[in-house]
Amino acid sequence: MQREQRIEISQAGLQLAIQEIKDDMFDTPACDFTVAKLLGHCGQTDQAEQILDEMLLKWGASPDVQALRQNGYAAIRSGDPTIANAEEALGKPQHDESPALEVI
């Protein structure tokens, strides 16, 4: 009984975390990628792969979506938590790297 309660609490926490991600990131390919990464990290690879599969139907086959899917699958299969977010998966800088302008 205690194990079942822990599983239910864990599931509730996972669903809460997924809802937070969706609230923060809205409905975007990056949001789907992040949710899939979370599910994969929590051992729910079937659900994670389903989200990645549905990305093509939902968002089309643009190069960015393809890159997110490929990186998502690679991260899920390897269990590699180092790809932390969608910008990193796409190889985009996380910070604005525009040069500082000097006023003369």
What pLDDT is stored for residue 97 in this prediction?
Answer: 44
pTM across the whole model: 0.70
Q: What's the CA angle centered on 51, arms 27 and 57, to 5 degrees?
A: 75
Q: Which residues contact 69 (CB under 8 A, 6 or more apart)?
A: 33, 52, 55, 56
Instruction: List the chain pLDDT tens, one digit each, 104 residues.
Output: 577 767 676 888 899 999 999 999 989 999 999 999 999 988 899 999 999 999 999 999 999 999 999 999 998 888 755 555 555 655 554 444 444 455 65
